[in-house]
């Protein structure tokens, strides 16, 4: 779907290294998820008109800086909701039924030697809290409701739901009412440390945190401290502060289930994300309205 000459420059260093004549000619950038793109980088491309981002979260892009320079930003929402929700539920099931250790016991012969896996934790019928009832949060809640779970949630405004419990934007209140706290808020400075030390304390010793949002949405130091002190029962995490370099203290804990930020990583969804990113690029270069504008 090339609309003209293309240049690959993924990192800030690679963009800086491009010849000035090349940078002058660039009108649009296809940005990969989690790759930072700030004002100084935008200034490398004086004729830049569009940053088409691959991913629903666009916190890696300084949207305010883009707007100040007249640069449009797009993302790829909706097409990944179902896969992200699927992984959230999969992690909850894997944590509650000790799936990873059970697999290892069969493979390693532990089960055949006469040892039985300790009794697990029941998930169906428990209380689930969705921190951030946006499109992904709603998809998660719908799935958990099918497990007979009591649904609580935070959001800026109350949503139309089948009798679910709204806690405003008070994540501490939410955490205090549930057994599972699923983090689905958007990333960025506004939600940095959204799940705080106080929220973790309110969740309590039987509570489990599930994060498929951004690592920054949880106070990671407070989370590690709560896990090490057994002040919460555990965590299932697909995202981290300094990913892919995960804090060694999290890796060492047997009460944490870890995933490599793969919530949207299916062939079908990554294809749909790529198509939407390309469609935004094509629309802009053809002078048509953007499909999924951010600013």
Average pLDDT in the 68-81 region? 95
**Residue among 53, 72, 261, 284 flagged as catalytic:** 261
Residue 4 has pLDDT above 70, yes or no: no
Contact 171, 131 (CB under 8 A): yes
The band of 1, judged by pLDDT with boundaries at 50, 70 and 90, is: very low
Set 34, 243, 249, 270: catalytic member: 243
Alpha carbon distance 163, 160 (integer Å): 8
Active-site residue (options: 72, 214, 220, 284): 214
The pLDDT tens digits for 205-263 are 999 999 999 999 999 999 999 999 999 999 999 999 999 999 999 999 999 999 999 99
Average pLDDT value for the chain: 95
User: Any idea which residue has 């039985």 for tokens?
Assistant: 116
**Has 214 been annotated as catalytic?**
yes
Query: Which residues partner with 182 through β-bridges?
Result: 130, 210
- Please name the residues in contact with 35: beta carbons below 8 A apart, sequence gap of 6 or more: 10, 11, 60
Model confidence, pTM: 0.90
Per-residue model confidence (pLDDT) at position 60: 87
Q: For 13-17, 47-51, 148-152, 153-157, which range has the lowest pLDDT when averaged over its residues?
A: 13-17
pLDDT in tens, 31-65: 986 778 999 999 999 999 999 999 888 888 999 99
3-class DSSP assignment, residue 83: helix
Residue of 124, 148, 151 lying closest to 137 (CA atoms): 151
Look at residue 171 in the predicted model and tell me its pLDDT. 98
The pLDDT of residue 285 is above 60: yes
């Amino acid at each position: 779907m090339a609309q003209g000459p293309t240049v690959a420059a993924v990192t800030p260093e690679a963009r800086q290294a491009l010849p000035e004549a090349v940078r002058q000619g660039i009108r649009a950038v296809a940005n990969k998820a989690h790759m930072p793109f700030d004002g100084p980088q935008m200034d490398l491309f004086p004729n830049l008109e569009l940053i088409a981002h691959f991913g629903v979260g666009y916190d890696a892009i300084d949207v305010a800086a883009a707007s100040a320079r007249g640069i449009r930003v797009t993302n790829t929402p909706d097409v990944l909701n179902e896969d992200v929700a699927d992984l959230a539920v999969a992690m909850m099931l894997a944590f509650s039924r000790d799936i990873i250790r059970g697999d290892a016991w069969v493979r390693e012969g532990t089960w055949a030697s006469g040892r039985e896996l300790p009794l697990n934790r029941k998930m169906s019928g428990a209380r689930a809290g969705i921190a951030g009832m946006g499109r992904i949060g709603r998809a998660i809640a719908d799935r958990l409701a099918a497990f007979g779970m009591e649904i609580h949630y935070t959001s800026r405004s109350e949503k139309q739901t089948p009798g679910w419990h709204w806690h405003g934007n008070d994540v501490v209140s939410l955490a205090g009412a549930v057994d599972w706290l699923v983090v689905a808020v958007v990333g960025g400075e506004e939600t940095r440390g959204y799940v705080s030390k106080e929220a973790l304390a309110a969740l309590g010793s039987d509570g489990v945190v599930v994060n498929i949002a951004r690592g920054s949405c949880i106070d990671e130091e407070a989370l590690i401290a709560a896990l090490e002190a057994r002040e919460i029962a555990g965590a299932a995490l697909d995202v981290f502060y300094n990913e892919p370099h995960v804090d060694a203290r999290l890796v060492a804990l047997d009460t944490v289930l870890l995933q490599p930020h793969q919530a949207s990583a299916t062939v079908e969804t990554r294809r749909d994300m790529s198509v939407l990113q390309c469609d935004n690029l094509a629309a802009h270069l053809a002078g048509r309205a953007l499909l999924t504008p951010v600013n």
